[in-house]
Amino acid sequence: MNVLTSSLRQLSDAIRKKDLSSVEVTERFMGQIEKWNPKINAYITLNEKALDQAKAVDARLAKGENVGPLAGVPVAIKDMLCTKGLRTTAASKILHNFVPPYSATVVERLEGAGAINLGKTNLDEFAMGSSTETSAFGLSRNPWNIDYVPGGSSGGSAAAVAGGMAAAAIGTDTGGSIRQPAGFCSLVGVKPTYGRVSRYGIVAFASSLDQAGPMTRTVEDSALIMESICGRDPRDSTTSAEAVPAWSKQINKSLKGIKVGLPKEYFSSQLGTDTRAAVERAIEAVKRAGAETVEISLPLTEMAVPIYYLVCTSEASSNLARYDGVRFGHRADFSKKPAEDLAEFYCRTRGEGFGTEVKRRIILGTYALSSGYYDAYYKKAGQVRRLLRQQFLDAFKQCQLLMSPVTTSPAFKIGDRISDPLAMYLNDIYTTSANLVGIPGMSVPAGFSKDGLPIGVQLLASHFQEQHLFNAGSVIEETLALKELPHVLQ
Amino acid sequence: MSYSDWEAVIGLEIHAQLLTESKMFSPDTTQFGGADNENTHPVSLGMPGALPVLNARAVEFSVKTGMALNCEVRKKSVFARKNYFYPDLPKGYQISQFDLPICENGYVEYVLDGELRRVHVQRAHMEEDAGKSLHQGEFTLINLNRAGVPLLEIVSGPDMKSPAEAAEYARTVRKILRYLNVCDGNLEEGSMRCDCNVSVRKKGETKLGTKVELKNINSFRFVEKAIEYEIQRQIDCLTTGEKIVQETRLYDPTKNRTFAMRSKEEAHDYRYFPDPDLLPVELEDDWLAKIRGELPELPLTRARRFQSEHGLPEYDSFVLTSEKALADYFEIVAQVSKNAKAASNWIMTELLRELNEAKLEVEKSPIGAAHLAEMIQMIDSKEISGKMAKEVFADMWKTSKAPKEIVKSKGMSQITDTSAIEKIVDDVMAANVQSVTDYRGGKVKLFGFFVGQVMKASKGQANPEMVNQILQKKLQG
């Protein structure tokens, strides 16, 4: 079996049956990283203890112990998640030297389930971006075509899995940051229902929107990882006590009686022809499995991006206040020219530590929360957000699933949009609503453009109804049966 | 105090540190006096991804306090972020409550100069404390042990007119907090902080003057003095045509002056918004009823009951209800001895004097309430005299022994047997025939001499009243 292209499920089965050792598998991925990471730049920091972790899993297996559902499979972790003893940067200079004394709950749970942490993947600085070009550690490249972006902000995670440098990865999704790069790299990516996954130990970008989730080769792999990382965490008050189902075991590929809503606002003229064709193939697939489609209207769709950029920048302006150089992280060098006052201490430290996009968002958010503007911006955004939520709840009275493109077009060329923030923000047009409303979403590979770039289709379900995503996702996966591999794996 | 045609308007913001074991949103301890930066969980340090989790005890204590301050308790309150940069504020924002505080619209009543006063409590909201900065020359040292400690900020209306009124209000709030056992009220250690908003205006004026906030006040006496100084300063400013600047001033007790804080007060825009990391606090009726049921009888009500039930004078009733433990002590002594007046007298004069001298809380009193009650019963049953009681009391203070035991071991019990006393009187008269003759001849002053002799002969144990009676009868012949 080809380790680098196998699913997490296949690898964990092989390791559990001792056809392969965790050490062999881990070494294989490390070899691929050594070969391709210099080109792709998927990782910021590699975990030097990965092999030790693999050895420990093998030793426990040898003793006949239960090593968990992710038994010995190497995964990559977005550098937004704190890892005890392993540098965590959020791809920002301001955290270039930060080594957390604790791990995120998600990391603890992954390790508890037997996964091996290969390292920390690249992202847009503080997850603010859609291309991984704003990273302070250099941009990542798309393994399907290295002149193209892998998407973002979880672009390093997507590139690592697509490039055979990890069996699966963890990303975070604030406005599409898992689903969009999954779509750009032909992966399955899930943004869970808000509250499913603990945010404890995950560098906060926009607290009311952030959720971590899996980025995998198969739908079943995503379900497996979700089963390990979801569930109430006493350290995060916003986690839900909702039971975590055994999604992977309950995947039902008959969609009889399932209604799939097609929001007409998501199929407007700005949608590219290749993308439209791919999404239509996916719609055909679910219909053939017995689903019925209905046209749905979500008139507030055009408000989603503006609301999103008010909410996420406001929360970010507050969440990023802690990076002040006082207790940890980057501090400007004051040895030659001491700060005149406190303001200068902050300005120099933060001025050096943050990149342009992060500064832009801090300024936008500070403005939106300022007295005199709060009512017109942040508060108004909250009101419209509630209306948007109601619109989705109403839509889910008519159907169990919504299907749409993930983005209007496939991956764009490196450098094409980085100087045009507005064009970059509009990338999020189909994905931000799920975060604002709190519902789960999935990106599933749906084919390729004429240029050979991957195209994803987005599935959305009502709160806590992830099973629908896994069911329909499996149908699309099985029906389209995509076999293409990026050239780095050929 | 009168300020001729000026009047002062005073409001207080009291920060009460709640007596929870762990911090407002994290599991590290609130214990005072640890090594620098020892009690610092990642949440208190504002580390990336560290999230606040609300301390349920802090909510309970806040609700209890709100109820005792006659507030409306909000069934749904919301935490908000107050954003500002300061090195001892780890997250760059303080978690506080803004437009939806947990308690609102209450009042505090107290008696001052024999008159019942009522001060409006605008709100009481929960928030976390910041850390502590220590400025040392070029450097500033930061200790974050205090960061995240739970506070309840109690905001009064601008209802007070004199420094004495403000100080008494603060004392009353402290008394209530201590009755509830939710805050130790220690101003010196900063577990209760008292910021005073002071403004002055011409009498008859309805608009409020520009207010000045006074901070750094660590005793009730200084609350009074700082406000006193500030009122005069403001009046002096206004009469010389100066304008009052809205600012924060610090009180310096050694100079008895207030000073403008060195750093210029900038107009802060705190950019409050609901904290997305915390859910709204929702309280259920059953739980609220349970908490209400746990409220103790509060000091003013208790003082009034002491007056009506035990017939105590107003002053005594206030002294005895100044601390819950003291009031409890009194009630035990009063009930067991069945002599409230004596209980009050012994506690107010002897016990409190000893406690104050030894700087002891009543809980640590070497004399237990039951022992003091027993001693009062012994006086009432004439087993010991009042004079002997003083000696017994002193012994009890030293040894913590029961009064019966002390009396027994010292052979101190009183002689109340009539025939025994008559015999001693007869012996004394027989030994002092001349004096008896003189007394009967009109030298009545000699009566004291006979009492002394009898007491001496009885080794002080004869009941003095009986000695008086019997002597009088026998001397008259």
**DSSP string across A126-147:** GG--SSS-S-TT----BTTBTT
- A104 contacts on B by Cβ (under 8 Å): 49
Among partner residues B45, B54, B91, which is closest to A237 by beta-carbon distance?
Answer: B54
Judge whether B45 is closer than 8 Å to chain A, CB to CB. Answer: yes
Torsion angles phi and psi, residue A309, rounded to 5: -70, -20
Residue A314, helix vs strand vs coil: helix
User: What's the pLDDT tens digit per position in A372-401?
Assistant: 999 999 999 999 999 999 999 999 999 999
Structure tokens at A144: 């399907």
Q: Which residues pair with B201 in a beta bridge?
A: B7
Nearest to A439 by CA among A304, A246, A278: A304
Among partner residues A200, A371, A378, which is closest to B49 by beta-carbon distance?
Answer: A200
Residue A256, helix vs strand vs coil: coil
* B153 in any annotated domain: yes
* B245 in any annotated domain: yes
Among partner residues A90, A314, A322, which is closest to B273 by beta-carbon distance?
Answer: A314
Across the interface, whether the CB atoms of B53 and A371 are under 8 A apart is answered no
Q: Which of B82, B273, B275 to mutate to test the interface with A (most CBs of A within 10 A)?
A: B273
Torsion angles phi and psi, residue B253, rounded to 5: -70, -25
Question: What rounded mean pLDDT belongs to chain A?
Answer: 97
B90 and B211 part of one domain: yes
Question: Chain B: residue nearest A95 by CA?
Answer: B48
Label residue B77 left, alpha or beta by phi (over 0 means left) and psi (-120 to 50 means alpha). beta
* A98 in any annotated domain: yes
Q: Is B182 exposed, middle or buried (0-12, 13-18, 19+ CB in 10 A)?
A: buried
Among partner residues A88, A199, A315, which is closest to B51 by beta-carbon distance?
Answer: A199
- Contact map slice: A 108-167 vs B, CB within 8 A: none
B259 and B123 part of one domain: yes
pLDDT exceeds 60 at position B431: yes
Across the interface, whether the CB atoms of B93 and A318 are under 8 A apart is answered yes
Residue type, B304: R
- CA B239 – CA B233 distance, rounded (Å): 10
Across the interface, whether the CB atoms of B51 and A100 are under 8 A apart is answered no
Q: pTM of the prediction?
A: 0.92
Q: What is the pLDDT of residue B262?
A: 55
* A312 in any annotated domain: no
Question: Chain A: residue nearest B95 by CA?
Answer: A318
For residue A107, give every residue at least 6 positions away whose Cβ sits within 8 Å of its Cβ, in sequence order, or none: A77, A81, A82, A83, A84, A117, A201
Q: To the nearest whole angstrom, how far is the Cα of A85 from the nearest Cα of chain B?
A: 14
Across the interface, whether the CB atoms of A346 and B85 are under 8 A apart is answered yes
Strands B6-17 and B150-156: antiparallel
- B87 contacts on A by Cβ (under 8 Å): 324, 326, 342
Q: What is the ipTM of this complex?
A: 0.96
- B90 contacts on A by Cβ (under 8 Å): 322, 326-327
B423 and B391 part of one domain: no
Nearest to A482 by CA among A186, A239, A162, A81: A186
- B148 contacts on A by Cβ (under 8 Å): none
Residue with tokens 């437009």: B99
User: Residue A328 — very low, low, confident or very high, per pLDDT cuts 50/70/90?
Assistant: very high
- DSSP H helices in B135-282: 163-180, 220-239
Question: Average pLDDT in the A32-57 region?
Answer: 98
pLDDT exceeds 50 at position B264: no
- CA B249 – CA B10 distance, rounded (Å): 15
Q: What is the pLDDT of residue B3?
A: 79
Q: Residue A375 carries which DSSP code?
A: I
Question: Average pLDDT in the A57-84 region?
Answer: 96
User: What's the pLDDT tens digit per position in B140-149?
Assistant: 999 999 999 9
Across the interface, whether the CB atoms of B271 and A366 are under 8 A apart is answered yes
Residue B109 parent element (H or E): strand B103-112
A177 catalytic per annotation: yes
Q: To the nearest whole angstrom, how far is the Cα of B82 from the nearest Cα of chain A?
A: 9
For residue B187, give every residue at least 6 positions away whose Cβ sits within 8 Å of its Cβ, in sequence order, or none: B193, B194, B217, B218, B219, B220
Across the interface, whether the CB atoms of B278 and A81 are under 8 A apart is answered no
Residue type, A144: W
Question: Chain A: residue nearest B272 by CA?
Answer: A369
Residue B141 parent element (H or E): strand B139-143
For residue B292, give every residue at least 6 positions away whose Cβ sits within 8 Å of its Cβ, in sequence order, or none: B67
Torsion angles phi and psi, residue B38, rounded to 5: -85, -40
Q: Which of B383, B409, B435 is the last residue of a domain?
A: B409
Residue type, B238: L
Residue tagged active-site, from A135, A177, A228, A314: A177
- CA B313 – CA A483 distance, rounded (Å): 95
Q: To the nearest whole angstrom, how far is the Cα of A326 from the nearest Cα of chain B?
A: 6
Q: Which residues pair with B96 in a beta bridge?
A: B80
Structural domains of chain A, count: 1
Number of residues written out for chain B = 477
Question: Average pLDDT in the A305-328 region?
Answer: 97
- DSSP H helices in B240-298: 285-293
B199 and B331 part of one domain: no
Tell me if B143 sits within 8 A of B35, measured CB to CB: no
Integer CA distances (angstroms), B254 to B191, B197, B226, in order: 22, 21, 11
Across the interface, whether the CB atoms of A200 and B50 are under 8 A apart is answered yes
- Contact map slice: B 97-136 vs A, CB within 8 A: none
- A102 contacts on B by Cβ (under 8 Å): 42, 47, 50
- CA B453 – CA B425 distance, rounded (Å): 9
B208 and B357 part of one domain: no
CB-defined contacts A:B, below 8 A: 104
Question: Average pLDDT in the A301-321 region?
Answer: 97
Q: What is the pLDDT of residue B287?
A: 98
Tell me if B108 sits within 8 A of B172, measured CB to CB: yes
* B290 in any annotated domain: no
How many CB atoms sit inside 10 A of residue A211's CB?
A: 27
Number of residues written out for chain A = 490
Torsion angles phi and psi, residue A195, rounded to 5: 105, -10
- DSSP H helices in A77-154: 105-112
- CA A193 – CA A210 distance, rounded (Å): 10
B400 and B433 part of one domain: no
B335 and B468 part of one domain: no
Question: Average pLDDT in the A79-105 region?
Answer: 98
Q: What is the pLDDT of residue A239?
A: 98
Torsion angles phi and psi, residue B300, rounded to 5: -65, -45
Higher pLDDT, A356 or B33: A356
For residue A380, give every residue at least 6 positions away whose Cβ sits within 8 Å of its Cβ, in sequence order, or none: A310
- B271 contacts on A by Cβ (under 8 Å): 317-318, 366, 369-371, 374
Q: To the nearest whole angstrom, how far is the Cα of B262 from the nearest Cα of chain A?
A: 13
Judge whether A203 is closer than 8 Å to chain B, CB to CB. Answer: yes
- B42 contacts on A by Cβ (under 8 Å): 100-102
Structural domains of chain B, count: 3
For residue A226, give every residue at least 6 positions away whose Cβ sits within 8 Å of its Cβ, in sequence order, or none: A190, A192, A196, A213, A214, A244, A247, A466
- CA A74 – CA A113 distance, rounded (Å): 12
Judge whether A210 is closer than 8 Å to chain B, CB to CB. Answer: no
Across the interface, whether the CB atoms of A374 and B273 are under 8 A apart is answered yes
Residue tagged active-site, from A6, A12, A22, A78: A78
* B285 in any annotated domain: no
pLDDT exceeds 90 at position B408: no
- CA B106 – CA A432 distance, rounded (Å): 44
B18 and B138 part of one domain: yes
Nearest to B246 by CA among B181, B178, B197: B197
Question: Average pLDDT in the B299-311 region?
Answer: 96
For residue B452, give every residue at least 6 positions away whose Cβ sits within 8 Å of its Cβ, in sequence order, or none: none
- CA B446 – CA B441 distance, rounded (Å): 11
Q: What is the pLDDT of residue B2?
A: 67
A78 catalytic per annotation: yes
- The sheet with strand B79-83 has its strands ordered as B93-97, B79-83, B273-274
Q: What is the pLDDT of residue A262?
A: 98
Across the interface, whether the CB atoms of A374 and B271 are under 8 A apart is answered yes
For residue A389, give every residue at least 6 positions away whose Cβ sits within 8 Å of its Cβ, in sequence order, or none: A436, A437, A438
B386 and B461 part of one domain: no
Judge whether B48 is closer than 8 Å to chain A, CB to CB. Answer: yes
> By residue range, what is the domain housing residue A94?
3-255
- The sheet with strand A188-191 has its strands ordered as A43-46, A116-121, A74-78, A168-173, A211-216, A188-191, A441-448, A454-461, A401-405, A259-263, A292-296
- A364 contacts on B by Cβ (under 8 Å): none
* A194 in any annotated domain: yes
- CA B158 – CA B229 distance, rounded (Å): 18
Query: Greatest CA separation found in chain B?
Result: 101
* B178 in any annotated domain: yes
Q: What is the pLDDT of residue A426?
A: 79
pLDDT exceeds 70 at position B187: yes
* A360 in any annotated domain: no
B304 and B166 part of one domain: no
For residue A32, give every residue at least 6 positions away whose Cβ sits within 8 Å of its Cβ, in sequence order, or none: A4, A163, A164, A165
- Cα B373 versus chain centre, distance: 24
* B226 in any annotated domain: yes
Structure tokens at B477: 């012949």
Residue tagged active-site, from A153, A186, A228, A404: A153
Q: Which of A324, A335, A345, A347 to mutate to test the interface with B (most CBs of B within 10 A)?
A: A324
Residue type, B171: R
- A234 contacts on B by Cβ (under 8 Å): 53
Q: To the nearest whole angstrom, how far is the Cα of A322 from the nearest Cα of chain B?
A: 4
> By residue range, what is the domain housing residue B452?
418-476
Structure tokens at B67: 């109820």
Nearest to A98 by CA among B49, B134, B421: B49
Strands (E) across A80-198 are located at: 116-121, 168-173, 188-191
* B38 in any annotated domain: yes
- CA B86 – CA B438 distance, rounded (Å): 91
Residue type, A100: P
Across the interface, whether the CB atoms of B276 and A208 are under 8 A apart is answered yes
Torsion angles phi and psi, residue B262, rounded to 5: -55, -50
Peptide bond into B458 cis (omega under 30): no
Q: Is B441 exposed, middle or buried (0-12, 13-18, 19+ CB in 10 A)?
A: exposed
B11 and B86 part of one domain: yes
- A238 contacts on B by Cβ (under 8 Å): 276-279
* A211 in any annotated domain: yes
- Domain CATH for A77: 3.90.1300.10
pLDDT exceeds 70 at position B263: no
Structure tokens at B433: 């025939």
How many CB atoms sit inside 10 A of residue B27's CB?
A: 13
- DSSP H helices in B265-320: 285-293, 299-310, 314-320
User: What's the pLDDT tens digit per position in A423-446?
Assistant: 888 778 999 999 999 999 999 999
- B95 contacts on A by Cβ (under 8 Å): none
- CA B169 – CA B165 distance, rounded (Å): 6
B119 and B11 part of one domain: yes
Question: Average pLDDT in the A28-38 region?
Answer: 98
Across the interface, whether the CB atoms of A82 and B49 are under 8 A apart is answered yes
Residue A381 parent element (H or E): helix A380-398
